[in-house]
Structure 1
């Protein structure tokens, strides 16, 4: 029994070490391209959130998520832009998973992965995480959990795909060099 446990632990450690090695091999320019791409992509997504939703997501929901007073559109935009850059960096980590590594370096792969990022980020963030987090902080317009409100979720998927394109394409362009 001990040898099985030990070999399973070693297997996990081996995967972690391989991932760490791949992450160290990613150039600084690739990390920056994805973060800047995420920042840029957050602008149209934020505009869609600010003007396409009846609730004050940017000015009130985002500040409240961090315990800040609102409504405050500047604080909300700062948080939103930070989220965009952080998700761009998380994209770089995700595409170090072996089946995606080479695919993410092509423009076709980047476009396809932008769609995947749009769908997954909507599902995880907008449908699951946001209703829970907003409920905890007492946001007055907290949606039901899970938030499957239509057509808003389709709008969210579109916005997250638009968000993801600069991050995925920026990463691919830098990695192609």
Structure 2
């Protein structure tokens, strides 16, 4: 009895154009989200809480913005890695698919980062006003979710646009 083994190699290539689109989209999307953090969300999120995650005592608005923008770029790159290597690769290339994935990524980052990671991280660095774990407070979590969606849609759209000739 003969045994035949087949292997299928799936090569996923992410071009520099897609990586740049994720990084630029993350930077751009972080701006309106940062403005929401300054003017809509309860203060002092951007000037005290974000810097406190890195041991910076506030208020430190410039440090908060720099860290927030850095997070946005990193999460934009994470988006590219997730959609490019997963089953959503084709969906992410169309405008409609990108908008839907941007909304989904905004919700995912809210749950993963604002609800789970942030309270644990702030507690670990000894921030005295760390939110409870899990950080699910109404209306703050809803506003955070809206902010993360406002952030993620430009990431997804710029990524989709990176495939246009």
TM-score between the two structures when normalised by the length of structure 2: 0.90
Q: Counterpart in 1 of 2:4?
A: none
Q: CA shift at 1:135, angstroms? A: 1.3
**Residue in structure 2 matched with residue 68 of structure 1 by the alignment:** 56
Aligned to 1:4: none
Q: Matches of residues 10-21 of structure 1 in structure 2 within 5 Å?
A: 18=10, 21=11
Is residue 106–residue 176 contact of structure 1 (8 Å, CA) maintained in 2? no
1:109 aligned residue (97, 114, 118) = 97
Answer yes or no: is 1:46 the counterpart of 2:46. Answer: no
User: How far apart, in 1, do the equivalents of 2:163 and 2:16 lie?
Assistant: 11
User: 2:15 — aligned with what?
Assistant: 27
Q: Distance in 2 between matches of 1:140 and 1:56?
A: 13
Q: Where do 1:121-160 residues align within 5 Å?
A: 121-160=109-148
2:56 aligned counterpart, secondary structure: coil
Partners of 2:41 and 2:143 within 8 A in 1: no
Question: Equivalents in 2 of 1:94, 1:176: separation in Å?
Answer: 20
1:167 and 2:155 matched: yes
Cα distance in structure 1, aligned partners of 2:114 and 2:92:
24
SS in structure 2 of the partner of residue 175 of structure 1? coil
Cα distance in 2, alignment partners of residues 107 and 37 from structure 1 = 14
Q: Deviations over 1:65-107 (max 9, x none)?
A: 1122321000010000000010000000000234201110110
Match of 1:91 among 57, 61, 79: 79
Q: Closer, same or farther in 2 for the Cα pair 1:97/1:29, shift >3 Å?
A: closer
Does 2:52 correspond to 1:59? no
Q: Which consecutive segments of 4 or more residues in structure 1 shift more than 4 A? A: none
Question: 1:122-158 CA deviation, whole Å, 9 max, x = no partner?
Answer: 0000000001111122223211110110011111111
Pairwise CA RMSD of aligned residues? Answer: 1.7
Pairwise CA distance, 1:175: 1.6
Q: How many residues align?
A: 159
Contact 1:63/1:70 (8 A) holds in 2: yes
Partner Cα distance (1:140, 1:53) in 2: 19
